[in-house]
């Protein structure tokens, strides 16, 4: 082994605790972000379902019907004039 490799290995052995702590922090940050994303998705689904269940009812009893009246006397007069021809 070259002297550079030996020195590098010694340096890594000296900083094992520091390296492990950094990896642990990185892992915890990753887990925290993933948990936050999962919680946001679950909350979004819950709110959507709550709004769908508690939406205003569209039953026929709740809907008011609208009626229109049409004066068809002009159409009846026209059709009567066609019958006379």
Please report whether residue 66 resides in a domain: no
pLDDT tens digits, one per residue of 12-51? 889 889 989 999 999 999 999 999 999 999 999 999 999 8
On whether residue 69 sits in a domain, the answer given is no
Report how far residue 12's alpha carbon sits from residue 16's, in angstroms, rounded to the nearest whole number: 6
Which range of residues forms the domain containing residue 25? 1-57
Tens digits of residue pLDDT in 47-84 = 999 988 887 766 555 567 788 888 999 989 888 888 87
- Domain assignment present for residue 62? The answer is no
* Cβ contacts of 66-75, under 8 Å, gap ≥ 24: none
Domains in the chain, number: 1
Task: Give tens-digit pLDDT for 1-16.
Answer: 689 999 889 988 898 8
């Amino acid at each position: 082994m070259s002297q550079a490799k030996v020195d590098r290995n010694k340096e890594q052995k000296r900083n094992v605790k520091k390296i492990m702590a950094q990896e642990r922090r990185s892992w915890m940050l990753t887990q925290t972000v993933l948990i936050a994303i999962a919680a946001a998705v679950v909350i979004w689904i819950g709110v959507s379902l709550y709004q769908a269940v508690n939406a205003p009812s569209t039953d026929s009893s709740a809907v008011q019907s609208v009626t229109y009246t049409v004066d068809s006397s002009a159409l009846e007069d026209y059709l009567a004039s066609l019958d006379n021809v």
